[in-house]
Structure 1
């Protein structure tokens, strides 16, 4: 078989292949249909599943924020400065690093203005140590029994047992408070992107952490303890999600690491208390 004949055979084969491919493409194009109905996304499907499970879901944001790895050494600075406080008796627990105060004269207030009264109260350094570094938290408060403030930093608010100021209310009077405080907070790493509120709540649901017939009463992004390393506590941005069980009215606090998108095990369950509407903050910020 000479070279010219071989060349002709290859040419015929290639031409036949081109004709086949062209015919296939034309047939595919003529039979194609176009669906203009928008498809349901996975996120929409999850939210619908939650509603089908009778889970009340507030409006959720897809916005992502920024946060840091923070560190604070365990120091009992509150215990060292109680002498500057006036008109109150104090005690300090070195195991929990918590200051407890009892007012000599309870603070009275008019109906519905307890928050305003206490916001002004904490501004005075003779009333609360480092009081100006705390900000009111509506979702965490029940104004009939407790009003909660959280420590704020340049990087954001602390939502953790360490860094909390809680006023006690009894018979219409503020009788005292408990306080914890994080000193000398340092940034360990550059800021990183945090997951959105929607990401956190969908993760809790798909991980069976939100049961049927429940309600998400509030959610907030803040710093919580990750690990204790040789006397220093490492804090990370965490989505805190309060879930109320409609049948029992009990509330359970769930936590999601906002940097790694992982659930932090260990929840807190309490009796139901009045909670404000959800906070849709997408950065680790403080309530006004």
Structure 2
């Protein structure tokens, strides 16, 4: 008997049970919180009073599932043996290109997507998240079910280019062996998510909600296995032009703190 495998199965089974029980509790809690009290202002009126604006919100998604996946182990053959490849830890491939690849237009975001899809294996499974043109780094997040994995250190690509606008290297991590949990969970509607952020004082006056999307964030990290929860991403443009981003568990309704993974995704020492 493979004891490690059996132990992992038991851990995941009990984790799923805990998730189910917590989701029932938070679902009832959120339902109670969303009941309108006579005389109380609705969230729409409160946002209007504080001049917090938003465009068309996403259509309500009735249900989604938790998913699990395994951290991919890279080999030189997976990447491209023609390049200089460092896979010393197995889960992260650092690739220096044998010949730099010219970007079509460094000021056009689609140029980076074109490079990733044409030159990196499984590149179509990633979507552009952020470009830092001062540091010359573009960050891509992996997608599952066409939804992003937010700031997941095991599911991203970072592309580096030089002063000649040529890509010289990239770094890749990936989650595979994706499985959906059988239990369908109710997804909290977008407006109720805004109500949660407003109640916590996170939505500031004179700001604008510029984006709301459903993706995934890491709920549990078990060395080589992860459990991911449906997560609302909310981007807010402040009155001074700065942008803030928030992530809310789409099943339980709690605001997710992912600062650690965020730093991992943005503050990598490239050594160049």
Q: Above 0.5 in TM-score?
A: yes
Runs (5+) with no aligned partner, structure 1: 1-38, 271-288
In structure 2, relative to structure 1, the CA distance for the partners of 1:64 and 1:154 (3 Å cut) is closer
1:60 matches 2:57: yes
Secondary structure at the aligned position of 2:201 is classed as coil
In structure 2, relative to structure 1, the CA distance for the partners of 1:112 and 1:122 (3 Å cut) is closer
Runs (5+) with no aligned partner, structure 2: 1-38, 264-272
Structure of higher CA gyration radius: 1
What is the CA deviation profile of residues 152-185 of structure 1, one whole-angstrom value per residue up to 9, with x for unaligned ones? 3347442332222232344333332222100111
Under a length normalisation based on structure 1, what TM-score does the superposition of the two structures give? 0.62
Under a length normalisation based on structure 2, what TM-score does the superposition of the two structures give? 0.65
Quote the residue 1:152 is aligned against.
Answer: 143
In structure 2, relative to structure 1, the CA distance for the partners of 1:152 and 1:197 (3 Å cut) is same
Q: 2:87 aligns with which of 83, 92, 102?
A: 92
In structure 2, relative to structure 1, the CA distance for the partners of 1:210 and 1:99 (3 Å cut) is farther
What is the CA deviation profile of residues 114-148 of structure 1, one whole-angstrom value per residue up to 9, with x for unaligned ones? 55444444445xx32322322x33xx223734444
Quote the residue 2:158 is aligned against.
Answer: 166
Question: Do the aligned partners of 1:57 and 1:216 also contact (CA within 8 Å) in 2?
Answer: yes
In structure 2, relative to structure 1, the CA distance for the partners of 1:158 and 1:167 (3 Å cut) is same
Quote the residue 2:220 is aligned against.
Answer: 227
Secondary structure at the aligned position of 1:210 is classed as coil
Alignment of 1:99-138 (within 5 A): 99-111=93-105, 115-124=109-118, 127-134=119-126, 136-137=127-128
Alignment of 1:135-284 (within 5 A): 136-137=127-128, 140-142=129-131, 144=133, 145-154=136-145, 156-161=147-152, 162-171=154-163, 172-212=165-205, 214-229=207-222, 231-247=224-240, 249=242, 251-267=243-259
Quote the residue 1:18 is aligned against.
Answer: none
Question: Do the aligned partners of 1:50 and 1:205 also contact (CA within 8 Å) in 2?
Answer: no
1:47 matches 2:38: no
Please give the root-mean-square deviation of Cα atoms over the aligned residues, in Å.
3.5
How far did residue 204 of structure 1 move?
A: 0.9
Higher helix share: 2
